[in-house]
Amino acid sequence: MLSAQRLIGLPVIDEKTGHRTGKVLDLWFDEHWSLRGFLLKARRWWFKRYYDAALWESVTACGSDAILISDKSAVKRLEAAEIGRTFHTGQIRLKDLPVITDEGRQLGRVSDVYFQGFQGTPITGFELTDGFVSDLIEGRKRLKIPADPELLKLGENAILVPARCEHDLEAFVTESG
């Protein structure tokens, strides 16, 4: 299983030439929670912000030390407006969004997201935090996405999940904790 936090900062390497095409700045998701690609770097041109992005379909290997892409032509320039959901820099950021049950109970805030390492993969789970002190005392929690992802609702200010998800929370200790 891959984690957004582990991928951010990794170099992106052109498989044909061995040249580094950038470093992962953020992960970009579509409206169906599927990974679209990696944002590499941001640039400003007058009043618009552009990102270089490597599409997920171009990834040939995603390891612990680097991400390989088919070639440098896989890197596209996108306007910030074209990028909706990201892990931590976009218009709708998954990081730090509260996860709330449909009964109004907050389960925590998104600290990390998990997905399988194959193309077009949707998010499979969230790592939730209740804050630094709580993380030290109790540890973080992991929430698996329900079998029917249609039950999740991603808003600009919260992620809504069915109340039964509260019973599926798994406590775990992160490597840093």
Q: Note whether 28 and 67 are same-domain residues.
A: yes
Number of structural domains (the chain) is 2
State the DSSP code for 122. B
Q: Note whether 85 and 98 are same-domain residues.
A: no
Q: Note whether 29 and 85 are same-domain residues.
A: yes
Give the whole-angstrom CA distance, residue 108 versus residue 140: 9
Q: Note whether 25 and 47 are same-domain residues.
A: yes
pLDDT reported for residue 42: 64
pLDDT reported for residue 177: 42
Query: pLDDT (tens digit, 0 to 9) for every residue of the chain, 177 residues total?
Result: 788 999 999 999 999 999 999 899 999 888 777 788 899 976 666 656 788 899 888 999 888 899 999 988 888 888 877 887 889 887 788 899 999 999 999 999 999 998 877 666 778 888 898 877 676 777 788 888 777 767 888 777 898 998 888 877 776 554 444
Token digits of residue 47: 């009043």
In a domain, 177, yes or no: no
| pTM tops 0.75 | yes
Give the whole-angstrom CA distance, residue 144 versus residue 153: 14
The answer to whether 127 touches 95, Cβ cutoff 8 Å, is no
pLDDT reported for residue 171: 62
Range of 98's domain? 93-172
